[in-house]
Amino acid sequence: METKPSEMSSSKMFGGYNKRYKHFSPTLGCSMTFHIYFPPSPSPSHRFPVLYWLSGLTCTDENFITKSGAQRVASSEGVALIAPDTSPRGLSIEGEADSWDFGVGAGFYLNATEEKWKNWRMYDYVVKELPQLLNDNFSQLDTSRASVSGHSMGGHGALTIYLKNLDKYKEYDATSLIKKFNDVSGTILIDQGEDDKFLHDQLMPHKFEEACQSAKVPLLLRLQPGYDHSYFFISTFIDDHIRHHAQALNLP
């Protein structure tokens, strides 16, 4: 099976290009899709730093690319956006699509431990396979300068992936929760909608804030009145987050 990515579509946007690719993933045992937004290049030899965006439950690699509007600032800041899918697909495992928050569209960016779900290895896919695939096939990307961000399930995934790989990512932000960590450089940026229906029962950002205070980690937690959990919320504040990552990646 073809492990090298093949281009599925290409659309010009803000001087650069949204491109969707398909490849067979040995890690997950199935074909996977991902998007790259390439900013306009100042020269043929220029290499862009990368920002991985991890999407939330029920999403695919298309949601962020089509709904966030992040390309406008990514174009001006010179950051390539990488949007992987959220789980393996097409494996036809019993029960894989029975619930919206488990199985298909719900990989949680971790490696499953039960034998039945052995193909659910999204942590290895995002941390190991995908960066290597990008490095081997796209000379215009500088995967050594990487940042990771996300929303909802992907926000939590971005935090946990960063904390386990402090040498791989320059900065991160998320709208989710983690309890304890240390050895973090730079400021964490989190935007949270105050009208988010998941806020009080599941997300609980103030517990995260308390953990940051205990660990003496700089955190900018912005509670945004009236905003919910949707991409209307994301698109409103995404410019700040792209600039936050660009600064962390030491761009001009």
What one-character-per-residue DSSP string does 107-167 give?
-TTSB--SGGGTT-BHHHIIIIIHHHHHHHH-TTEEEEEEEEEESTHHHHHHHHHHHH-TT
Q: CB under 8 Å to 68, separation ≥6 — which residues? A: 53, 231, 234, 235, 238
Structure tokens at 251: 């761009």
Q: CB under 8 Å to 71, separation ≥6 — which residues? A: 13, 14, 16, 18, 37, 65, 81
Catalytic site residues? Answer: 152, 196, 229
What are the angstrom distances between the C-alpha of 139 and each of 39, 40, 49, 105, 154? 14, 14, 11, 30, 27
Q: Cβ distance 132 to 29 under 8 Å?
A: no
